Amino acid sequence: MLKHQLIHPKINEVLGRAGHHSKILIADGNYPASTKRGPKAELVCLNLSRGIVTVAQVLRAVLSAIPVDRVNTMGIPPDDPYAKRGEPPVWNEFRKALKEARLKLKLEPIPKWDFYAAVESPDHALTIQTGDEALWANVLLTIGCRPE
């Protein structure tokens, strides 16, 4: 019987094999998950329908299961029309999830093309594709060490 919130068998299996520095991507519904991933990364599709499930919902479940050292978001290029709007509202949901998990981590945006490169690294273990319709709602987690 699992004590954490995450009950998806395949996600638990991959997280159980992943170690320190492994990367976990929780992707929004716009992310090209079939082509932008690491050479050995597994893909779990949770995009049931538009808006279901969200990245924030998956983030909460994953944070209950693993230690995390770093949380990166996909940074918005300055020439993108969305950049004029400021930070995406969904990032505040991510901060709330981090606070609920009692983590003192900050969201660290990575420029869009560098974000793709980070995801395509050999350290990328898992992509969880969601149906989230929020823009710029991709989160790349770096797994930390278990506490002593």
Helix (H, G, I), strand (E, B) or coil at 128: strand
The encoded tokens of residue 95 equal 């901060």
- Looking at residue 146, what is its pLDDT? 77
Q: Which DSSP letter does residue 21 get?
A: T
The encoded tokens of residue 114 equal 């560098």
d(CA 46, CA 48): 6
pTM to 2 decimals?
A: 0.95
pLDDT of 75 > 70? The answer is: yes
pLDDT digits (tens, 9 = 90+) for 113-139: 999 999 999 999 999 999 999 999 999
Residue type, 88: P
The H or E element spanning position 17 is helix 9-17
pLDDT of 84 > 80? The answer is: yes
Domains belonging to the chain, first-starting first, are: 9-143 (3.40.1650.10)
- How would residue 2 be classed by pLDDT, with cut points 50, 70 and 90? low
Q: How would DSSP label each residue in 34-53? A: TTSS-TT-EEEE---BTTBS
pLDDT of 148 > 70? The answer is: no
Q: Tell the residue number behind the tokens 């996909």, with chain if given.
A: 74
pLDDT of 21 > 60? The answer is: yes
- Residue pair 143/67 in contact (Cβ under 8 Å)? The answer is yes
Percent of the chain whose pLDDT exceeds 70 = 97
